[in-house]
């Protein structure tokens, strides 16, 4: 996703799997494997 967004001139500011996001937010996790598969990518819209 990072490559796709960057190729379309959307600067990526963050790109993490959901397990990492849950750890940052101190959210208890029971199903670790499912969270490792999902990702969150944050990009800025160009002006």
Q: Domains in the chain: how many in total? A: 1
Length of the chain: 47
CB contact burial 1-14 (16+ within 10 A = b; e otherwise): eeeebeeeebeeee
Torsion, Cα 40 44 45 46, to 10 degrees, reads -140
Structural domain harbouring 36 = 2-43
Question: Which residues in the chain come in under a pLDDT of 50?
Answer: none
Given this model, what pLDDT does residue 22 score?
94
Residue 13's pLDDT is what? 94
pLDDT confidence of residue 7 = 94
Residue 3: the pLDDT is 92
pLDDT at 11: 94
Output the pLDDT for position 28.
Answer: 94
**What pLDDT sits at residue 46?**
75
Written in H, E and C, the secondary structure of the chain is CHHHHHHCCCCEEEEEEHHHHHHHCCCCCCCHHHHHHCEEEEECCCC
């Amino acid at each position: 996703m990072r490559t796709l967004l960057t190729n379309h001139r959307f600067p990526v500011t963050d790109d993490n799997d959901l397990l990492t996001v849950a750890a940052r937010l101190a959210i208890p996790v029971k199903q670790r494997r499912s969270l490792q598969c999902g990702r969150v990518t944050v990009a800025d819209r160009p002006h």
